[in-house]
Chain A
Amino acid sequence: MKKIGLLFIACAVVFSSFSQEKHESNKDKKLPVVQLKTMTGELVNTSELTANGPVIISFWATWCAPCKRELNTISDVYDDWKDEFGVTLVAVSIDDEKTKGQVPTYVNGRAWDYLVVMDPNSDFKRAMGVNNVPHTFLVDKDGVIVYSHNNYTPGDEDLLYQELVKLKQK
């Protein structure tokens, strides 16, 4: 038992020193590579998402009320954002098999124009370090995560807008 403890400490020390050194040199957090599917079953690799410019990645579920509030709000201004920033929104549904079938029903029922991808076993959610939904990320065209926000209250979309402005000015 003692040995295990020692090993962990050693492991942690080396690990943390390494991470510090790395983070000082570059604070960038890159988009992890995960294989996902669209609503129609087409395979999508997360590394392909930023091919056409920056992306907003928003984790949601059909049973998550604030998530739907956020995405419905952005939906109203999405066309403007696309024109202004060339940004795409990827709505990552973490609905599992129980409610997965309701995703296209809701997405089209609410006339969303987003790229919707399915994460039924939360592989992408885990890789992105998401605790709970809604959680929204802004990723630049090089795949670097420049902004992330947990939770949604009305008006948070303005913060995201400001981040888009900042990104454009870079």
Chain B
Amino acid sequence: MRKLSIICSLLLLSTTTYSQLERGNFTGNLETTFQYLNKDSLIGATQPPSKALLNSYMNVYYTHGNFRGGLRFESYLPRIQGYPTNFQGTGLGMRYVGYANHFIDATVGNFYEQFGAGLTLRAYEDRALGYDNMLDGVRVKLMPFRGIVVKGVYGLQRLGFNGGITHSSGVVRGGDAEFNLSQIFPKIAEKEVDFMIGGSFVSKFQEDNDDLLILPQNVATYGGRMALNYKGFTLNGEYVVKGQDPSQDNGFIYNPGFATVINAGYSRKGLGILFSAKSVDNMSFRSDRTKVLQVGLINYLPALNKTHTYNLVASLYPYATQPTGEVAFQGDIVYTIPKGSKIGGKYGTTISLNASTAFRPKRTPNLNYPGDSTGVAYSTSPFRMSDSLYWLDINASIYRKFTKNFSASLSYFHLALNNNVAAVTKQPGVIRSNTFVFEFLYKFKKQSSLRAELQVMLVNRIDSLNNRVPFNTKGAKPTDHGDWATLMVEYAINSHWMINVMDQYNFGNPKKSSRAHHPYITVAYVTGPTRVSVGYGRQRAGMFCVGGVCRYVPASNGLTLSVTHSF
């Protein structure tokens, strides 16, 4: 209450005092999603007791010279289907004031922040996913010299929303420094070299309220990073370690943790190549050691795979990052055959290849655990991997623009997901799938076009003991929910109106009665920064992922109305 009045008065003070001298700047955005859902037993969709659901938020940012402030109101009345359960009620979900000049940037209240790649700290939001772990406290950034940025943060984490922000019981504090040497020493830049080094330290404090275990109340994670660019070559990496942090995630073991991500690449006009490697062990870092899933995470461990856009590959068997441990690799190539060449055609042809894989780390068990006093369950080291596959993704795509008005692409995806580890359904074992996608776009005349996608996903076959067998084996059935196809047609009538019709058909479900069509129609109207859309139909259950963080969205049948606007 007191905090609130202080913020309000500060905001008002900053606005009224200066309003006569110079005008301020208001910006912001809003999004409202309303759902009315029906029961549909064929696809397992239920009707919520309230029948109607609503998610809504509006951000208002104000800047005036060096001052700034911001507010967000949020409503979940109740939350839409599949949204995390820790979002409920209506009220104020964010508020801050800040001041910035060329040397200092200070924020009091809520803020988002990322240190390096986020391995030690990343406070961020993804409203579509229902993820918001912003900090509430104070942040100071100093820029003493061009190319040097020093940051300090101290605050409580937002754990959820219940008519207002709910805080985690642990305190998060940390610091980060980054030196861009080529900006500090222009002589380096003259040699076309970009060189950056940085380091961060983050600690959390949470009281030990366990009767049996002696839990560390202060847990630290820290590490360093570098990035080097020379002409078309790039090399960057980060390595962080974490102290003993017994938690729900790791089964209350006293192991230390580590995480490292390395990227190496080369690119020039028309060609890009990237190779990435990652090794993580026992690196889940939460402001509350008892929390699981997406709640209370302080750091961010990126999944090392491509984020797919076609719905079957994106949401049926996606891979989520494994904070307790994984060794992962990725390769990515994009090449454009030059325009005007014989193979490239008049407008050029682009080929993309991408592969990623993840394995379980190899661990040497501590034979005395849990009998000895160390509490250390095993030992391992970076990039020590077992042959237990978590994930494999091999995909290729070719895109060609044939004429000024017509372009098409063909894509192939092979996915293998270890459903015992990164479980998305109840099916045990590794689920493999091959997916083929054909897409084309035809532009009629100004602002009118037709786009269509045909996707077919074939999953591997299993025998009655759940063992993988060849495709044409007698008596074999498709694994999990079987094969799928999607047909989507999108017609843009003019620059304002768009109609999208889609059907996802589970034609290969091993259970004949479950071979359901999922038709869905969306009509959208866009004008400038405003979008209004109405959707109606069936939506299948699936994983909704952003940045390697996934959320399960159950099947639904009904109406969704959505309005977004920015100002």
- What residues make up the interface of A, taking CB atoms closer than 8 Å to B? 3-4, 7-8, 10-11, 14-15, 18-19, 21-23, 25-26, 29-30, 32-33, 35, 40-43, 62-65, 69, 76, 96-99, 101-102, 104-111, 120-123, 126-132, 135, 147-151, 153-156, 158-159
Task: Let me know if A127 and B23 touch, CB within 8 A.
Answer: no
User: What residues of chain A lie closer than 8 Å to B34, measured between beta carbons?
Assistant: none
- Interface: B294 (CB within 8 A): no
Q: Kindly identify, within residues 58 to 95 of chain B, every residue whose CB is under 8 Å from any CB belonging to chain A.
A: 59-61, 63, 92
Dominant secondary structure of chain B at its interface with chain A:
strand
Interchain CA distance A34-B194 in the complex, whole Å: 21
Query: How far apart are A6's CB and chain B's nearest CB, in angstroms?
Result: 11
Task: Let me know if A131 and B31 touch, CB within 8 A.
Answer: yes
Task: Let me know if B274 and A150 touch, CB within 8 A.
Answer: no
Task: Let me know if A22 and B23 touch, CB within 8 A.
Answer: yes
Task: Let me know if A155 and B448 touch, CB within 8 A.
Answer: yes
Task: Let me know if A148 and B566 touch, CB within 8 A.
Answer: yes
Interchain CA distance A15-B448 in the complex, whole Å: 42
User: What residues of chain B lie closer than 8 Å to A150, measured between beta carbons?
Assistant: 526, 528-531, 564, 566
15 sample A-B contacts, Cβ–Cβ < 8 Å, listed by A number? A14-B15, A30-B25, A42-B194, A96-B118, A96-B124, A96-B300, A101-B263, A104-B272, A108-B268, A109-B350, A121-B124, A131-B565, A135-B529, A153-B447, A154-B447
Task: Let me know if A33 and B528 touch, CB within 8 A.
Answer: no
User: What residues of chain A lie closer than 8 Å to B547, measured between beta carbons?
Assistant: 96-99
Query: How far apart are B339's CB and chain A's nearest CB, in angstroms?
Result: 9
User: What residues of chain A lie closer than 8 Å to B232, measured between beta carbons?
Assistant: 108
Task: Let me know if B4 and A7 touch, CB within 8 A.
Answer: yes
Task: Let me know if B548 and A105 touch, CB within 8 A.
Answer: no
Task: Let me know if B548 and A129 touch, CB within 8 A.
Answer: no
Interchain CA distance A106-B354 in the complex, whole Å: 12
Task: Let me know if B147 and A43 touch, CB within 8 A.
Answer: yes
Query: How far apart are A14's CB and chain B's nearest CB, in angstroms?
Result: 6
Nearest 4 Cβ contacts at the A-B interface: A109-B334, A105-B272, A155-B447, A108-B267
Interchain CA distance A34-B335 in the complex, whole Å: 33
Task: Let me know if B271 and A109 touch, CB within 8 A.
Answer: yes
Query: How far apart are B236's CB and chain A's nearest CB, in angstroms?
Result: 8
**Which B-chain residue is minimally distant from A64 (CB atoms)?**
B309
- Interface: B567 (CB within 8 A): yes
Known: A98-B548, A121-B122, A148-B529. A42 touches B180 (CB 8 A): yes
Query: How far apart are B545's CB and chain A's nearest CB, in angstroms?
Result: 10
User: What residues of chain A lie closer than 8 Å to B274, measured between beta carbons?
Assistant: 101-102, 104-105
Q: Which of B31, B350, B530, B566 contacts A128 (CB 8 A)?
A: B566
**Which A-chain residue is minimally distant from B261 (CB atoms)?**
A97
Task: Let me know if B447 and A158 touch, CB within 8 A.
Answer: yes
Task: Let me know if A32 and B27 touch, CB within 8 A.
Answer: yes
Q: Mark B1-42, 1 if CB is under 8 A from A, else 0.
A: 100110010011001100100011111111100000000000
Q: A41-B229, A121-B114 are in contact. List 16 more A-B contacts (CB 8 A).
A: A14-B12, A18-B19, A22-B26, A41-B196, A64-B309, A96-B300, A97-B261, A101-B274, A102-B332, A110-B350, A111-B270, A121-B118, A129-B567, A154-B447, A154-B451, A159-B447
- Interface: B408 (CB within 8 A): no
User: What residues of chain B lie closer than 8 Å to A122, measured between beta carbons?
Assistant: 112, 124-125
Interchain CA distance A135-B29 in the complex, whole Å: 12
User: What residues of chain B lie closer than 8 Å to A158, measured between beta carbons?
Assistant: 446-447
- Interface: B474 (CB within 8 A): no
Q: Which of B125, B143, B492 contacts A154 (CB 8 A)?
A: B492
- Interface: B140 (CB within 8 A): no
Task: Let me know if B269 and A108 touch, CB within 8 A.
Answer: yes
Interchain CA distance A22-B423 in the complex, whole Å: 53
User: What residues of chain A lie closer than 8 Å to B336, measured between beta carbons?
Assistant: 109-111
- Interface: B421 (CB within 8 A): no
Query: How far apart are B326's CB and chain A's nearest CB, in angstroms?
Result: 14
Query: How far apart are B528's CB and chain A's nearest CB, in angstroms?
Result: 6
Task: Let me know if A106 and B334 touch, CB within 8 A.
Answer: yes
**Which B-chain residue is minimally distant from A11 (CB atoms)?**
B8
User: What residues of chain A lie closer than 8 Å to B118, measured between beta carbons?
Assistant: 96-97, 120-121
Interchain CA distance A123-B114 in the complex, whole Å: 10
Interchain CA distance A33-B61 in the complex, whole Å: 12
Interchain CA distance A130-B25 in the complex, whole Å: 16
Q: Kindly identify, within residues 186 to 238 of chain B, every residue whose CB is under 8 Å from any CB belonging to chain A.
A: 194, 196, 227, 229, 232, 234
Task: Let me know if B272 and A108 touch, CB within 8 A.
Answer: yes
User: What residues of chain A lie closer than 8 Å to B112, measured between beta carbons?
Assistant: 121-123, 126
Interface centre among A19, A32, A104 (most CB of B within 10 A): A104
Task: Let me know if A15 and B59 touch, CB within 8 A.
Answer: no
- Interface: B374 (CB within 8 A): no
Known: A69-B441, A122-B112. A101 touches B183 (CB 8 A): no
Interchain CA distance A109-B530 in the complex, whole Å: 32
Known: A19-B26, A98-B302, A99-B307. A153 touches B268 (CB 8 A): no
User: What residues of chain B lie closer than 8 Å to A15, measured between beta carbons?
Assistant: 11-12, 15, 60
User: What residues of chain B lie closer than 8 Å to A29, measured between beta carbons?
Assistant: 25, 27, 567
Interchain CA distance A128-B23 in the complex, whole Å: 18
Known: A97-B300, A110-B334. A26 touches B124 (CB 8 A): no
User: What residues of chain A lie closer than 8 Å to B305, measured between beta carbons?
Assistant: 98
Q: Kindly identify, within residues 298 to 356 of chain B, every residue whose CB is under 8 Å from any CB belonging to chain A.
A: 300, 302-309, 330, 332-336, 347-348, 350, 352
